[in-house]
Homo-oligomer: A and B are copies of this chain.
Amino acid sequence: MTACSVRLQIFLQLQAVNKELCSKFEACLGASTSRVEILHYLLQHEEVTQSTLQREVNIDAAAVTRHLKQLELAGTIVRYKKADDQRATWVKLEEEAKRHIEQSYSEKSQFVKETLDGFSEAELEQFLQMLSKVSKNVSRVTKNHLGGENK
């Protein structure tokens, strides 16, 4: 119990932080975190298919479809198909939306900066690495368990 308690606390704290962060973030900036992730990815990749977007952002395909539909309706993105493959749907940000997002990044960065107040650059770097390490561990764990180790 005591040996695992720090780890369990980390787990619970991670939950708690993330949850609060999400709700505050949405309240402050009026966009769900999923949508932010999608837009962030699109801003950095110019043109992608829905399926790769779905894989990269790690959101269910159905959710991606619904988000993109709304974003298209709002004029934020364009969706289109290409001649060589009529299955894949490509997604791209509208030019105006790009500018808009870039601009709103300043507000976001202000928010993010405040939540990471009191961290030195070195600590931030370290924090990020820790998160990445956990991320790697998590994906590995699943594979093992599905491999038959579980139960």
Contact = CB atoms under 8 A, between A and B. Distances in A.
A7 B124 contact: yes
A115 B141 contact: yes
Give the size category of A's interface with B.
Answer: 35 or more
A132 B7 CA distance: 14
Interface of A: 1, 3-4, 6-22, 24, 27-28, 33, 37, 40, 58, 105, 108-109, 111-119, 121, 123-128, 130-135, 137-142, 144-145, 150
26 contacts: A6-B124, A6-B125, A8-B40, A8-B108, A10-B112, A10-B116, A11-B21, A11-B115, A12-B40, A13-B128, A13-B132, A14-B17, A14-B18, A14-B21, A15-B37, A16-B58, A17-B134, A19-B58, A21-B134, A28-B141, A28-B142, A28-B145, A28-B150, A114-B140, A114-B141, A126-B126
